[in-house]
A and B are shown apart, each in its own frame.
Chain A
Amino acid sequence: MAYRVAVDIGGTFTDFCVFDETTNTLETHKVLSTPGKPGSEIILGLEELSKRKGVNPQKISWFSHGTTVGINTVIQRQGAKLALFVTAGFEDVLELARLKVPDPYNIFSQRPQPLVPRERVYGIEERILLDGSVEKKVNIQSVKSAIKAAKAAGADTIVVALLHCYANSTNEQQVKQAIKQVDDDVEVTLSSDVWPVIREYERTVTATVAGYIQRRVANYLSAFQDALKQAGVPALPLIGKSNGGVMTAELGKTEPISMLLSGTAAGVMGAASIAQHSGRAEVISFDVGGTSADVAIIMDGAAAYGSGEMVGDFPIYVPTVSVTSIGEGGGSIAWVDDFGVLKVGPESAGSTPGPACFNNGGEKPTITDAFVVSGLLVSDRLGYGAVNLDLKKARASIRSLGDKLNLRDEEVAESIIKVAVSGMFLETSKLFSHRGVDPRRFSMVAFGGAGPMLACHLAKDLGLAEIIIPPTPGVLSAFGGLVADIRNDFIRTVMVDVNNKGLKSILMSVKTLEEEAASWLRDEQGFKGKSELLWSCDMRYRGQSFEIETIVKQSWLYDSSSEQIKAAFHEAHHQVYDHSDDHAEVQIVNLRLVIVGTVPKPSLPMTKERKSLATPSKNVKVHVDGNHHEAAVFDRQKLCPGDHFYGPAIVLQDDTTTIVLPKFTAYVDGAKNLILTANGIQDASR
Chain B
Amino acid sequence: MPVDKVTLEILKNHTRAAAESMAYTLYRTAHSTFVKETEDFTTGLTTPEGETFATPTELGATWFVGLNYGRAIEMIDEYRPGDICMTNDPYSGFVCTHPPDTHIWKPVFYHDEIVAFSVGHIHNTDVGGAVPASLSRSLTEVHQEGIRIPPTKIMSEGEINQEILEIFMRNVRAPEQNWGDLKAQIAACNTGERKVHEMIKRFGIETFRQGVGDLLDYAENQARAIIRDLPDGKYDFADYIDEDAVDGWPCRIKLSLEINEDNLILDFTGSDPQLESSMNMPTGGDPRHALVLVGVIYVLYSLDPRLYLNSGIARACRCILPSGTMVNPVFPAAVGMRTLSCNRLHGLTFGAFAQAVPDRLMGAPASGGPIMNVNTTDIKSGRRIMAAINPMTGGSGGSASRDGNDGSGANQGFLKNTPVEVNEVEAGIKVHRYGLVTDSAGPGKHRGGLGTEMIFESLAPNTKITARNRDRTEFSGWGIAGGKAGGASSFLRNPNQKNEINLGNTDIVTVDPGDLIYVSCGGAGGWGDPFTREPSAVLKDVKCGWVTPQHAQKAYGVIIKNDMIDKPATELFRKKNKSKTSAVKDNTFYSVCTAQLEFEKIWTEKNYDALTEGLCTLPVSWRFFAKHQIFSTIDKMASDDPARIDGTAVKQALSELIEKFPDLKATEDA
Contacts and interface: CB of A to CB of B under 8 A. Distances in A.
B17 A425 contact: yes
Interface string A423-440: 101100110111010000
B398 to A, nearest CB: 11
Interface residues of B, number: 84
B436 A96 contact: yes
B14 A425 contact: yes
B58 interface: yes
B13 A105 contact: no
A45 B567 CA distance: 59
Interface residues of A, number: 66
A90 B433 contact: yes
B421 A96 contact: no
Contacts of B225: 338-339
B9 A419 contact: yes
A89 B432 contact: yes
B418 A545 contact: yes
Given A426-B17, A545-B422, A405 B298 contact: no
A422 interface: yes
A599 B42 CA distance: 48
B565 interface: no
A162 to B, nearest CB: 11
Contact of B399 (A108, A405, A579): A108
A423 B10 CA distance: 8
Central interface residue in B5, B298, B362, B406, by most chain A CB within 10 Å: B5
A578 B201 contact: no
B28 A577 contact: yes
Contact of B419 (A110, A200, A423): A200
Contacts of A432: 21
Contacts of A1: none
Contact of B29 (A91, A106, A415, A579): A579
B417 A99 contact: yes
B57 interface: yes
A423 B12 CA distance: 9
A504 B545 CA distance: 46
A150 to B, nearest CB: 13
A101 B396 CA distance: 11
A545 B33 contact: yes
Interface string B225-267: 1000000000000000000000000000000000000000000
Interface in B606-648: none
Interface stretch (A259-267, A287-295, A340-348, A602-610): A340-348
Contacts, number: 204
Contact of A104 (B20, B30, B414): B414
Interface string B249-290: 000000000000000000000000000000000000000000
A407 B4 CA distance: 11
A403 to B, nearest CB: 13
A199 B419 contact: yes
B36 interface: yes
A490 interface: no
B405 A110 contact: yes
A684 interface: yes
B302 interface: yes
B413 A342 contact: no
B24 interface: yes
Given A119-B543, A545-B418, A110 B409 contact: yes
A337 interface: yes
A113 to B, nearest CB: 11
B25 A433 contact: yes
B201 A685 contact: yes
A342 B33 contact: no
A198 B419 contact: yes
B333 interface: no
Contacts of A96: 406-408, 417, 434-436, 452
Nearest to B15: A426
Contact of A95 (B25, B407, B418, B425): B407
B20 A198 contact: no
Nearest to A87: B420
Nearest to B306: A337
Given A107-B413, A199-B421, A100 B24 contact: no
B416 A579 contact: no
B31 A579 contact: yes
Contact of A340 (B5, B28, B180): B5
Given A106-B305, A495-B425, A99 B393 contact: yes
B424 interface: yes
Nearest to A119: B543
A399 interface: no
Contacts of A343: 9
A89 B433 contact: yes
A654 B420 CA distance: 54
A432 B25 CA distance: 10
Contact of B406 (A95, A98, A100, A433): A95
Nearest to A584: B176
A107 B411 contact: yes
A100 B417 CA distance: 8
Given A92-B435, A434-B24, A434-B28, A105 B57 contact: yes
Nearest to A128: B421
A330 B18 CA distance: 26
A433 B433 contact: no
Interface in A54-97: 89-92, 95-96
Nearest to A344: B9
Contact of A163 (B187, B222, B413, B420): B420
A151 interface: no
A481 to B, nearest CB: 33
A337 B62 CA distance: 25
A143 B424 CA distance: 25
Contacts of B37: 545
Most chain A C-beta atoms within 10 Å of own C-beta, residue among B391, B540, B544: B544
A436 B37 CA distance: 19
Nearest to B350: A107
B415 A545 contact: no
Interface string B468-495: 0000000000000000000000000000
Interface in B305-345: 305-306, 309
A429 B202 CA distance: 15
B415 A419 contact: no
Contacts of A341: 5, 8-9, 218
A429 B20 contact: yes
A184 B309 CA distance: 56
A546 B432 CA distance: 24
A89 B297 CA distance: 38
B414 A100 contact: yes
Contacts of B413: 100-101, 103-104, 106-107, 109
A544 B36 contact: yes
A381 interface: no
B365 interface: yes
Given A200-B421, A543-B33, 15 more contacts: A96-B452, A100-B415, A101-B405, A105-B302, A107-B409, A339-B222, A407-B6, A419-B10, A425-B13, A426-B14, A429-B20, A434-B24, A545-B37, A577-B30, A579-B183
Interface of A: 89-92, 95-96, 98-101, 103-111, 117-119, 129-130, 163-164, 198-202, 336-343, 405, 407, 415, 418-419, 422-423, 425-426, 429-430, 432-434, 436, 461, 495, 543-546, 576-579, 684-685
Nearest 3 A/B pairs, CB to CB: A101-B413, A433-B24, A104-B414
19 contacts: A96-B406, A100-B413, A105-B302, A105-B309, A119-B543, A164-B421, A199-B419, A199-B421, A339-B5, A339-B218, A339-B222, A342-B9, A343-B9, A422-B14, A426-B13, A432-B21, A433-B25, A434-B28, A577-B30
Interface of B: 5-6, 8-10, 13-14, 16-18, 20-22, 24-25, 28-31, 33, 36-37, 57-58, 62, 65, 180, 183, 187, 191, 198, 201-202, 218, 221-222, 225, 297-299, 301-302, 305-306, 309, 350, 362, 365, 391, 393, 396, 399, 405-411, 413-422, 424-425, 430, 432-436, 452, 455, 540, 543-546
